[in-house]
Amino acid sequence: MGTVTGQLGRNSPVTQFAAKDWDLGGEHPGVVLHDVASRPRPAGHVIVFANEKGGVGKSTLAFHTAIALCDAGKKVAVIDLDHGQATLSGALINREATCRLLKVGLPSPRYVAFSQSSAACLSQEIARIGSDCAFVLIDVAGGGSPIARRAIAMADSLVTPVSSSFADIDLLGQFDAISLRLKRLGRFSRLVGGLRKARTDARLPDLDWLVVPNRSRHTGSTNEAIISQALAKLSTKADFRLAQGLGERVAYRELFLYGLTHFDLKRIPNLGRVKATARDEISQLLADLQLPADDEEQADLFAAGMAVKEQVLAATA
């Protein structure tokens, strides 16, 4: 395996970088991994929502994923590492208030806004609220930090939302402005690649990295098509899978204020009508995550999104 010299040739090895090229805040990835691996491993499947670029919808995706899993009857723990904005934990606080106001019971995760900076404290907090949970969701603040790197290092699934902008995907990969040729992997891709290599070196299972184009307007614009092509090219170099995200819908924003999703409206029929497109997008996101199924019911839930995709493909064939 080689190193990167600044630009990628057709056959250049881009999944590994020289030690001096790590962008880990001065930490070697092996040190980060050792800090995490030396702690008790969460029993549940750890899903981390992370991107050093802020404002791309990490908290929104984490919230909808958590509620959909709860709706399927799963025990879920949520750790909000962005204690400054506290968007995710704030939505869950609003959810509790909505339940009290409407006098309804809605499936909800256990959650905490986490303000510490050590892997030991993070491990203890996960054990405190999620020791018996099937899934542990961690929402990471934008920007790099030691605790963000440790959350990514412990992930089973890493979800990175991006918007349809080269400014947003610059942290994943940098492209030539004229030819749109991929010049080199971005800082976040290098960080994830370094932590994945450290896991491999330690003979630990690899994480599953999912990049999610989010907040698309479904208008088929030229810009979105160009971004899609760039992400497809980048996925083979940075070794991630692409998924379908949530569209730019007023319905998501309105319900989010109350801590609700479209999965909740079946339990509150007087509040609003379930929009099938919004519900199907969430189901498709779960299907794309390819989470481990521990029973027939869960397997059926995660397969639901694939059925939606097949129907769409059949209709457009």
Q: Judge whether 168 and 162 are in contact, CB under 8 Å.
A: yes
pLDDT of residue 108: 96
User: Token pair 């050093």 is at which residue?
Assistant: 52
- Residues 226-265 pLDDT 10s: 888 899 999 999 999 999 877 765 566 778 889 998 889 8
Domain assignments of the chain as residue spans, ordered by start: 19-273
Q: Is the pLDDT of residue 297 over 80?
A: no
More confident residue, 219 or 276: 276
pLDDT of residue 250: 59
- Residues 10-46 pLDDT 10s: 343 334 434 444 556 678 899 999 999 999 888 999 9
Instruction: Give me the mean pLDDT over the 90-108 stretch.
Output: 94
Taking 3-state DSSP, the helix, strand and coil percentages for the chain, each rounded to the nearest 5, stand at 45, 15, 45
Q: Is the pLDDT of residue 90 over 90?
A: yes
pLDDT of residue 15: 40
Tell me which fold the domain 19-273 belongs to: Rossmann fold (3.40.50)
Q: Is the pLDDT of residue 270 over 90?
A: no
- Residues 112-126 pLDDT 10s: 998 888 899 999 999
Residue 78's contacts (CB-CB under 8 Å, 6 or more residues apart) are 62, 66, 88, 89, 92, 109, 110, 111, 112, 136, 137, 138, 139
Q: Is the pLDDT of residue 65 over 80?
A: yes
- Residues 150-169 pLDDT 10s: 999 999 999 999 987 787 88
Q: Is the pLDDT of residue 80 over 50?
A: yes
pTM for this entry = 0.83
Share of the chain above pLDDT 70, in %: 79
User: What angle do helix axes 29-37 and 187-201 make, rounded to 10 degrees?
Assistant: 60
Quote the mean pLDDT of the chain: 81
Q: Is the pLDDT of residue 62 over 90?
A: yes
Q: Judge whether 72 and 297 are in contact, CB under 8 Å.
A: yes
